Chains A and B, each alone.
Chain A
């Protein structure tokens, strides 16, 4: 075996109330793709933050090519050839794609002036290698979908020609196509001798791309293994400490229609018509950008529809804004957790209680204990990992934040719940728990509209699948009819066909 390119030895890191890393060791070989696995909050991002100079370890040492180094800040890590795609978005919406990618290493002419033609042509080339040809490098990042933004993030990391590339959940907001492109590039990089650390909660991806894998649990090192020696089950056992139960499906669908949408038209969708029954889980599938979230936003009254009708429990309603929707018993877990979901500087308890403040209050007044006990119960039920419900939301790991967002609506118990990419960045265990939760909700009679880009998720949960292409409904599949290829067929806008 070749000498390690990178060696982390006995790294520890404590945050107030949390021991995020406990003497974790890790080694990375040249030209390997090394997966890092662990539940939400296991310490993966923390470890990578230390490796990229963003955090300093409390204990432990870092060796690069056998030499001890101190990565005092992001710049010094970059200078050592380490480049990272953070789990959190790190782009600036108001700047162009090109400028986001080359912030640290703009091509310059004499005097430090930016060589814009060169900048754009380099960006164009880089985007081409990422299979994106339709994008103008001058486009502002804020006008891109979150998938595209994720690709820009990756391009940004690649632009530095790193020796060590860290990808922290790069595919959370991606669909199969983009993921495939990403893997092709990673393989090419490996060929050229780059080492990659790859973090993902989609375990199948690990078998597709990684050479070795390391597992963390509760901040503790669980071992490093060649991927070839492992199975999904064995990885899960290492991550969770036990086996996951197989989940079985039974439809809970009832007769009565809770939500009925008729000829809804909006900015990016036309003539959407469907019905949603109590206890039903209806999936809205489609390629990214098909307009699924737009439909949800219209139903919630965030961007009210231009035309069409919404009926709730047999009555026609007009929904002008989210409070209206909530009054009619509709809840919404948005797709972009950080931007639209969390209140980062507020506590976990506050984040969960937000939708049900009035019902928790007595005569308009709220005591902490009135909030704390139901929240505490919910946190336990959802198994949200936190030292206390008074922890700031921003300090929770991504997956736990996602669970808290779901919890926010569970407190209110709406009759219709729209969940948009509900398991983005959630670990396998938690994912199973969320599925369980959604099914339990359905069993109670809640109607669920599921928007998801993960086809296995769609197939595992839904009673019925609607497929959206470019803003129009192109297909409806019952649970029995739905397969990945069938959904993809409609989602790519091909005409109806008989199987």
Chain B
């Protein structure tokens, strides 16, 4: 029965926890280290601390259609709450189905504004691009040839690209030679970088937008003996990225505070279920969601100056 998922209506305010409460994270590309080491690790840690069950569902490929199907299928199994990775605007309908079924549903990472999700926590990819653009302009003193790469065609990435280009548009001496699709593949990123270095011996900088862009870019720059001569900015802060910053292969990393949006996202679900903060006598019938509507967890940058704090 659908009301089972809507326990939060009957539950008394307080922290009395039922160990059978199950919180489910539905994502995609489930094996991506960034997701495993930050999102999934945090989610599990949260579950253990709260004494509730956590499950993680998703395919290993980046497959939005499959994510939609998993959301639709998991609704029928009546989880206590759903924590959904906002991979693509088109998952909105599936989210709405979950909300309709009375399941507290929180979106993390990227927002799905068209949906009726209860809450969103995450960052704005446009900002990620802007931060990289500003750093590049600074490091290049406003002039030089730049190329950038990521997963071409993906909404997140395209937003990031836009942020980058909007900043660079202010610097007439910066020439953007192209946008490249590395398909989140190191070999591809390395190949593109090598070709770029040969086609443009005066290439000044590269910007990367997926986890694998940075390592691939750094590899080819190193092999061309141009480490330090070409400026590299990119995203994520896996051990590999940190090592490269330390060695000088990468100048700047833009990081998301993934731990924060997952932890608090899960906590939001919990708080909805347990009515931790009640606004009215009956929030449900008053049409009130008693957690924040949207939270921007913010970004941070890693450079050679603060790298020491991130290394073990």
Whether chain A touches chain B in the assembled complex (some CB pair under 8 Å): no
